[in-house]
Amino acid sequence: MSQYANTLSKILEVTSFTNKDSTYFEFLKVPEKTIHVSFPVRLDNDETIYLNGFRVIHNRKRGPSKGGIRFTECVNMNEVKLLALLMTLKCSLLELPYGGGKGGVIINTINLSENELEQVTRGFVRGIFDDIGPHKDIPAPDMYTNSKIMDIATNEYQKISKSKTYATFTGKSIKNKGLEGRTESTGFGGFVCARNFFKDINGLKVNLQGLGNAGGTIGKYLVDAGAKIICASDSKGSIYNKNGLDYQEILKLKSSKRSVALYNQEHDSLEKDEFLEKDCDLLILAANENVINSSNYKKVKGKVILELANGPINFDSIDFQEMKNKIVIPDILANSGGVVGSYLEWDNNLKNKKSSKTETLEHLDRKISKVFARVLKTSEDLNINLRKASYVEALKNLT
């Protein structure tokens, strides 16, 4: 079974807790539209290469589709379809007037010049132009894309459409009608979930995988609230100190694009996957998909796992029962701050308004705390885990 089919079957398992049966949710089975584009990019050495990109519009029952664009070597249509399905659920859970979408370009951006990265962005926007727009499909940043890329994408869209709209892409820079607080919104939303769950963060021992936009930010809010980061991992290494790592030092390394592997205070360096074996109060997965899977799930020590990344636990091969002793705060809730922030940016752009950072963070806190409380109650009332309870609440908003 594909991961899409497997995830969908898990979602549809909970339809008995809604007032509709699974046949009603037939519209979730196949994405509304899948777009595969191939486009040329002229490199700085005048060579032309052809790249493949994808955009999936999963479902627009609640409004235009919304979801990020990732630039990575490993992206493929199946992954984008699955992530678009999760976006449909996430937007519905958060009661946003959006459906789900997602996109990606197969490219490793590490060795691209700024000009080449700009050509990739413009080429992809030209490829998907007919299907995007403020009331059709609204992309945002995701892995290895950022506000600079959203600014270029906005400019390309404005040029082709001969319009002045800024509402086709969210996650733009502040000087280009982006939202104050949008950069922090995913990590902050995850922090709000953790705070609602634990109530008291002070002294919490945290194991954090992924120190980019989402992971770096949640770490900062947790440390400010008194938590200790005892283990930190990025794509090049993992470091551990049971008494807590110096998070400022880690942020300095990351802001200068260096790895935690270069951390020079007292610590142990861990091998791949070894970080999963470290005792902690909270394990945060903020890097990529499929981190916990059938080969390593028995080693996982953290009792509470917060999925800040999309799909970091692969349930393809892990029976839900096998993870019964863990509490998982699921991705569609834990990382929903990003899309809530994006919604505010889009709404500001359409109404020509400008929310302050405080307004953005207060809005996120209110909205995510409310949904978190509802999911927790459903989980307790129905005696189901938080993932299933999130699916139940999301499906109810799709009826």
Among positions 104, 212, 219, 302, the unique one binding ligand NAD when judged by CB under 6 A: 212
Nearer to ligand NAD by Cβ, of 163 and 235: the residue is: 235
The Cα 136–Cα 165 span in angstroms is 13
CA distance 55 to 135: 16
Q: Which of 65, 233, 355, 390 binds ligand NAD (CB under 6 A)?
A: 233
State residue 111 phi and psi, 5-degree precision. -100, 10
Rounded to a whole number of angstroms, the minimum distance from the CB of residue 271 to ligand NAD is 12
Rounded CA separation 138/343 (Å): 10
Tell whether residue 173 is a contact of ligand NAD (CB under 6 A). no
53 touches ligand NAD by CB under 6 A: no
Asked if 235 interacts with ligand NAD (CB under 6 A), we say yes
Of 34-42, 103-111, 123-131, 135-143, which segment contacts ligand NAD by CB under 6 A? Answer: 135-143
Q: Which token pair is 335?
A: 């990382």
Which member of 66, 81, 90, 102 is catalytic?
Answer: 102
Q: Which of 4, 54, 71, 144 binds ligand NAD (CB under 6 A)?
A: 144
CA dist 92 and 63 (Å) reads 10
Token digits for 386?
A: 């938080």
Stretch of 58-66, 128-136, 140-148, 221-229 lying at the interface with ligand NAD (CB under 6 A): 140-148
Q: Which two tokens stand for residue 98?
A: 């959006």
Tell me: does residue 231 bind ligand NAD (CB under 6 A).
no
Q: Which helix (H) or strand (E) holds 228?
A: strand 228-234
Which parts of 300-339 interact with ligand NAD (CB under 6 A)? 308-310, 335, 338
Q: Given the rule CB under 6 A, which of 47-55, 56-64, 213-221, 382-390 is the region that contacts ligand NAD? A: 213-221
Dig out the tokens for 58 from the structure: 């999963």
CB–CB of 7/31 below 8 Å?
no
3-state SS, 303-359, equals CEEEECCCCCECCCCCCHHHHCCCEEECHHHHCCHHHHHHHHHHHHHHHCCCCCHHH
Binding residue for ligand NAD, selected from 56, 91, 125, 143, defined by CB under 6 A? 143
Closest CA to 397 of 85, 61, 66: 61
345 in contact with ligand NAD (CB under 6 A): no
Binding test (CB under 6 A) with ligand NAD, winner from 41, 231, 287, 368:
287
Q: Residue 31 or 141: which CB sits closer to ligand NAD?
A: 141
State yes or no: is 102 an active-site residue: yes
Q: Which one, 139 or 215, has the nearer CB to ligand NAD? A: 215
Q: Binding ligand NAD by CB under 6 A: which of 288, 296, 369, 397?
A: 288
What is the DSSP code string of 231-274?
EEEETTEEEE-TT---HHHHHHHHHTT--GGG--SS-EEE-TTG
Give the nearer residue to ligand NAD in terms of CB position, either 37 or 80: 80
Q: How far apart are CA 29 and CA 64, in angstroms?
A: 18
Instruction: Answer yes or no whether residue 104 interacts with ligand NAD by CB under 6 A.
Output: no
- Mind telling me the catalytic residues? 102
Residues contributing to the site for ligand NAD (CB under 6 A): 141-144, 186, 209-215, 233-235, 286-288, 308-310, 335, 338
